Amino acid sequence: MSLARTGPLPTAPKRKRAVSQAVREASEVLGNTPTVARQSYVDPRLLDAYEHGETIDPDRLGSAETEVRVLLFR
Statement: residue 20 has pLDDT above 70: yes
Statement: residue 63 has pLDDT above 80: no
Statement: residue 62 has pLDDT above 70: no
7, with CB counted inside 10 A (0-12, 13-18, 19+), is exposed
66, with CB counted inside 10 A (0-12, 13-18, 19+), is exposed
- 42/20 Cα distance (integer angstroms): 12
Task: Please tell me what DSSP assigns to residue 42.
Answer: S
Name the pTM for this structure: 0.80
